[in-house]
A = this chain, B = another copy of it.
Amino acid sequence: MKEQPEVTIQFQPIGKRVQVAAQTNLLEAARLAGIALTSTCGGEGNCGQCRVQVVSGSVSPLTEDERFLLGEAEIEAGYRLACCTRAWSDVRLHVPPDSLDSGQRLQIESVLRPIPPEPVVQAIPVSCPPPTLHDPRSDWTRLKEAITAQSGSTEITTSNAFLQQLPTAIRQLGWSANILWRHNEVIGLTPAHQKLLGLAVDLGSTKIAATLLELESGQVLSTSGAPNPQISYGEDVVSRLAYAQRNAAGSQKLAELVRQTIDELLLKMLNKVSAAPEQVAEACIVGNTAMTHLLLGWPVRQLALSPYVAASSEPLEVLASELGLRMAPGARVYIPPAIGGYIGSDHIAMVLASELDRNERLAIGIDIGTNTEISLRIPGKETLTAVSCASGPAFEGAHIRDGMRAASGAIEKVRLTPQGVQIETVDHEPPIGFCGSGILDAIAELYRAGYLLPNGRFNRQRLALLGNSEPRFVFVPADKSGNGREIALTQKDINEIQLAKGAIHAGMKILLETNQIAPEAVEEVIVAGAFGSYISLPSAVQIGLFPPLPHARYRQVGNAAAIGAQWMLLSQSARRRAEEIARRTHYLELSTVPKFNLYFAHAMHFPVHSEKN
């Protein structure tokens, strides 16, 4: 074998690099670097999934397969299929999230830039002389005087929670410690060498994602997640709100469940890094408006009934102890502002971290969920506009016969090829159902291949050719599935997705029209959230969920809400900016727009001329 010179392949934004022989194809290079690019065809150049963007370096020319599978705009932007491209020199690649295997998706969070820490809590070292009979000043008086001597501050306050711990803690530490200083308040006490930590939480209605960070450096120390335990009281938000209203203690119960889970996640992470709750000086929790209401113990009746009003949409600082979180005694949880009953602090966090509010291009930020929030940024214009679309839980796999969450064995990618059905499952386990991105792919492929008509009905003739008498399409027969049951999409499943995508499409259309923007004028579409990061953009465009813009205008940013929560945990400027975003965002209530229902009805159809992009 002829010896080739070595070249270095860098993968952004993952931050990995690998040395390979020149002429190595980029799919193989990615494998060697430990990066699992999606590839349902196994590197045959016919699934078009292993897309990467060549940022710099010299590579082999475009193949015919690539010309066929990539859109023109993508080719212009330097996109290639990794399996068809060989490195001729050192190469720097950008890996878009939807080319990544689900197991590696979390890493795409680093698509978003880190923020310079500017934490609200600082550690100040102090020492006091111990008390004597001749100097019996109280512990707190003594500590205050030491702080004044150290920092010059004379306006010093504290909470009862801190005073409850002070006498024991200060004696254990031998009258020499770090005080946790928040504005003019002492909120805790730690040994002098310990780092201050912070907790950032993305409180989703399905999943709770928590991150433990070091406040001063901004370093992520640990991450952890758990299903939202409220699920047992209602799969979707509406039924949980109903439960909370039906039962006197219902709100309290739902609040406790979610508080306990957050506390457990925190403790798990603290144990992992051998840290103590007293070190956790601050938290930031983002979530949709219903989730933050239930977390904070607020009534939800007015939120569940028209005109769907939040108790408060203003930023809030609440004692961690009030939420049952074991942190420093006076530590606060910052809950960022929301925009209204249907645009929560998670959307603000997403706008913040994706920097939509400062985008130099005409841009849309979209976070798909049971409610899908969309914000529009027009450069030079002071206000953003936001809408919320009732897209329902179908994209989360709910209300779909063989739907499931994105757990092991969930089909997340589908391709119909002349050779048959190609699928990819989470963790590469035998298939047991569809998660949202798989359903989207499956419907897009069924439509592309002519099994579905533009109105969403199955083409019975085409189905009949496959021997399917019922209006359903079997993707995995019972004997090939992981649980002995066939995996199919039914007409009802298709209809559910039509409703969901129709609501989003119509919402986006109203949003643009109200601002006199033509859809093709949108220069960037920022797609955030778990579902949005996992989906195939071509499929989303194929079924008309997203407008037929060039692929390169889409940017999948992963869980931007979680990153936004981290920003607001770490930086006071980020909080001020989030509050500014909330003030500057105009909420457009879709139900007040007469055309909405008409648009919604139209948008249920699939686009007749699916464009190549």
A296 engages B160 (CB within 8 Å) = yes
| With A168-B301, A302-B167: A136-B340 Cβ-Cβ less than 8 Å | yes
Confirm or deny: A68 has a beta carbon within 8 angstroms of a beta carbon on chain B.
Answer: no
1/0 per residue, CB under 8 A from B, across A76-119: the answer is 00000000000000000000000000000000000000000000
Q: Which size class do A's interface residues fall under?
A: 35 or more
Q: Are A316 and B139 in contact (CB under 8 A)?
A: no
Among the 9-residue stretches A213-221, A559-567, A569-577, A584-592, the one with 4 or more Cβ atoms under 8 Å from chain B is: A584-592
CB pair B296–A136 under 8 Å, yes or no, is: no
Contact A138 B299 (CB under 8 A): no
A133-B592, A163-B298, A307-B132 known; A313+B168 contact, CB < 8 A: no
Collect the chain B residues with CB atoms within 8 Å of residue A296's CB. 160, 163-164
Is A239 on the interface with B (CB-CB < 8 A)?
no
| Top 7 closest pairs, chain A to chain B, by CB | A140-B312, A138-B310, A138-B313, A133-B307, A167-B299, A160-B318, A131-B309
Q: What per-residue 1/0 map shows which CB atoms of A304-339 lie under 8 Å from chain B?
A: 001111111110101100100000000000000010
User: Shortest distance in angstroms between A340's beta carbon and chain B's nearest beta carbon?
Assistant: 5
Closest B residue to A139 using CB positions = B311
A448 CB, min distance to chain B CBs, angstroms: 39
Once A163-B298, A296-B160, A298-B164 are accepted as A-B contacts, the answer to whether A138 and B312 lie under 8 Å apart by CB is yes
B-side contacts of A141, CB under 8 Å? 312-314
A341 lies within 8 A of chain B by Cβ: yes
* CB closest residue in chain B, given A131: B309
Is A297 located at the chain interface by the 8 A CB criterion? yes
**Chain B residues with CB under 8 A of A301:** 167-168
A274-305: contact bitstring with B at CB < 8 Å (1 yes, 0 no)?
00000000000000000000001111011000
How many angstroms from the CA of A29 to the CA of B322 in the assembled complex?
A: 60
Known A309-B131, A589-B133; judge A139-B302 contact (CB<8 A): yes
Q: What are the residues of chain B within 8 A of A609 when measuring CB–CB?
A: none
Q: Which of A165-184 contact B (CB under 8 A)?
A: 166-168, 171
**Interface residue A193 (Cβ < 8 Å from any Cβ of B):** no
Once the chains bind, are B160 and A322 in contact (CB under 8 Å)?
Answer: yes
The listed residue (B140, B310, B314, B592) touching A134 by CB distance below 8 A is B592
Show 25 A/B contacts (Cβ-Cβ < 8 Å), sorted by A. A131-B307, A131-B309, A133-B592, A134-B589, A136-B308, A136-B340, A136-B587, A136-B589, A137-B340, A138-B311, A138-B312, A138-B314, A138-B338, A139-B312, A140-B314, A144-B314, A160-B316, A160-B319, A163-B296, A163-B298, A163-B312, A164-B297, A164-B299, A167-B298, A168-B301
The distance in angstroms between the C-alpha atoms of A426 and B495, with both chains bound, is 85
Minimum CB distance partner of A316 in chain B: B160
